[in-house]
Structure 1
């Protein structure tokens, strides 16, 4: 017992190591036995952690996006590149422009009164032929109708009478001119002392009228007296003839010379008087003929060609041709062939619509428009032609204020070369009011409205567009004045602005 109790320390230590070794071996053995179970648990735990990480990561991204969108301003849109390319946005910088206040008033298209007439019968008669029908186009001077009128026949007969009178007066004048010429030549031969036989031979076939006898007879007597004196002078010296006889012959010769000179003077005076009277008669005949033509043309309403007019028979005398005063279209006719018409009856209505009149009323609120000068351009919108806009020029403003509307009429001229406009069409007339001035302006299509608020979209570049509220002033077809909200140079979206408005409204619904 004692020996057992007195066992050495080395022996006790060895036993302890053996027990520990046995225990370690047991643990390892237990671990080896549970290894498959541990591996399965580890795989399950790893999968759970991976799924948790993915879910937590996705939530984090979503939260980041929500935070980003929540942090962005509600009036700013950021569009992806694809949408921007598809929309093809266009922007125009806000800039200073001349802005003219305008006002639009209702109006009507009317005929140009200078080119819309009733072609009336100038006198009573029978409508022998109506050449045109409604819808026909005629040129200025074209034949419209033919009437038979006794009054026209009388007027043409008066012309024939006056023509005959003028022809007679012209013949008389021509004769007086011939007599004056021949008498002047006779006087020259008389001054040369030519004999009566020589003068008679030279003018045997030429007209001298009564002056032949008066002048040549006096000249013959004077020549005879000269011969008698010449014959008795030698006899005076021989005493065969008394001096008294010579003095008598000389007295007779002086009387003959006086008669000759008197006849020449009277002939010269008479021929000048006759020539002047003949010229006056021709002038009077011309005046009467012109008056007859004027009377006829007044009845006809147009000028006839005096060289080609036919006055040969009664039918031609009474023929009255009615011609177009200007080029245009026949709008209506009042009579048929062979009907009796009275003076002033409308045969046809002729109109030229190459240009029309625009008539509108300017009221007190637009009174400054009355100061517009003739020729000022105004805009005319025609609803019947898909709101097409034409340009017209102011002709005049009425002077009298209409009591029932308290307005004055505006009349403008509008060209209708295309033939699209028709009298009676309703139009909207835009007239400038006041003076034009320079103001910050943008394009009209840039201005949008929502819930009674006006706004535009400013291009911030890089796909960002900002909604900016604006206040507008005067507007024209091309520009709108901006009184508040923008600065010069800011790019304002024009094309695509409505798309941005839709995107902004959708974003608001999503929020």
Structure 2
């Protein structure tokens, strides 16, 4: 794996000992003398014979050998500094890699070379193996709680009129069919009058039909007169049914004045009220909103790259910001067929029971879509260090050498965290003492032999 590498020396052992050897002091002096040439070597000429920067070529400049050996940057096999060895790292072209990237964090692959094999123990560095788990922490996504759209009622006026009385306000819990407001409506009054006329007409038509049928039996009336009476009765019945249906739509009874009672079609909580006493309202505007909050939906934002691993009935575990320590479980019932062009995510829906009303619309949280067929690499939380805006894990390459890996973090599971890239199963990662390794890779600490904070 081709990574940019900059080898640094952790001088913890020297700090613990309290002093450096005279040989190390001489090496440091030689390093200081050689530094001007080494600094200009990045842009200097290459040694055509050995394939490294001419100013850093230990073959042509043997007196640089103890300098790199003192730093622990030395390839015994080939006689070059390990960081620029053209045989061990041909991808570097015989040039040292930069110590940090433009984001101010160590480059992926930065190595920390300890002074001795015993330094890790003295510094308290502990390692644990990264493990692979089927399903692992799942696919991490963001979530937002919304109302169950099947249990939301937006209630408008059934007929234009003036609000005469209010029965509820926002926050009221109502049963199905409960009254919300009384509205006076000229249209309802007119329909009541028409219905009363239709009822009178129907009564007369029924009596007329009975009379014509009796006269026909006595031979006084003709069959044609009976049929005409029957036709009038049918028309009266249709007229009555039409006006009765019109009143039923607005929830008004046949008797009474020109007002009607606006009721709720479902049980729930009144979440909006736009009606006020004396206000003239039309049929097009919403006056009340009633929501049954006994169940809610969680809308998940699934990244485009993770969609192939998401399917219906897939289990989901959620944690909501406002409900710390509470874990919610559900299944995916819907995955949107379209992707948001701005966020490159698709919506997925998870119904959630809400018997105690703790879930509220527009709460935010995090969810894990469990994917049994998906393998995840898990490391201890303590292994993950933040350097500037980057997350790092230090992988042990040898007893005296660690490598910084830039990682991306997924879901958490107890004291483990999913690493979506950067670490392979079975690799040993530093847990306790990883902070010391991090500080040694920061730009201001390189070569200083200290473990200062950022």
Cα contact 2:183–2:261 (8 A) shared by 1: yes
Q: Deviations over 1:351-375 (max 9, x none)?
A: 22111221222222112145x22x5
Cα offset, 1:398, TM superposition = 2.1
- Taking the TM superposition and a 5 Å limit, the aligned residue runs for 1:71-470 are 99=135, 102-179=138-215, 183=217, 208=218, 210=220, 270=223, 273-298=224-249, 300=250, 302=251, 309-311=253-255, 316-370=256-310, 372-373=311-312, 375-433=313-371, 436=373, 449=383, 452=393
Where 1:380 maps in the other structure, the secondary structure is strand
Where 1:122 maps in the other structure, the secondary structure is coil
Cα offset, 1:140, TM superposition = 0.8
Cα contact 1:162–1:288 (8 A) shared by 2: yes
Shift in alpha-carbon separation, 1:154–1:410, aligned structure 2, 3 A? same
Cα offset, 1:450, TM superposition = 8.6
Comparing 350-359 with 329-338, greater Cα deviation is found at 329-338
Cα offset, 1:310, TM superposition = 5.0
Where 1:384 maps in the other structure, the secondary structure is coil
TM value normalised by structure 1 = 0.47
Shift in alpha-carbon separation, 1:331–1:480, aligned structure 2, 3 A? closer
Shift in alpha-carbon separation, 1:384–1:154, aligned structure 2, 3 A? same
Cα offset, 1:109, TM superposition = 1.0
Shift in alpha-carbon separation, 1:480–1:132, aligned structure 2, 3 A? closer
Cα offset, 1:276, TM superposition = 4.5
Comparing 140-149 with 288-297, greater Cα deviation is found at 288-297
Shift in alpha-carbon separation, 1:477–1:168, aligned structure 2, 3 A? farther
The separation in 1 between residues aligned to 2:345 and 2:178, in whole angstroms, is 42
Matched residue pairs, number? 285
The separation in 1 between residues aligned to 2:272 and 2:417, in whole angstroms, is 48
What 5-or-longer segments of structure 1 have no aligned partner? 1-73, 75-95, 184-207, 212-266, 456-472, 486-497, 503-511
Cα contact 1:369–1:431 (8 A) shared by 2: no
Cα offset, 1:421, TM superposition = 0.8
Cα offset, 1:390, TM superposition = 0.9
Shift in alpha-carbon separation, 1:397–1:275, aligned structure 2, 3 A? farther
Cα contact 2:157–2:286 (8 A) shared by 1: yes
Q: Deviations over 1:110-145 (max 9, x none)?
A: 122333343222333221101112221111100000
Cα contact 1:101–1:436 (8 A) shared by 2: no
Cα contact 1:100–1:474 (8 A) shared by 2: no
TM value normalised by structure 2 = 0.52
Shift in alpha-carbon separation, 1:279–1:333, aligned structure 2, 3 A? same
Cα contact 1:99–1:476 (8 A) shared by 2: no
Cα contact 1:99–1:474 (8 A) shared by 2: no
Cα offset, 1:349, TM superposition = 2.7
The separation in 1 between residues aligned to 2:247 and 2:318, in whole angstroms, is 46
The separation in 1 between residues aligned to 2:197 and 2:187, in whole angstroms, is 15
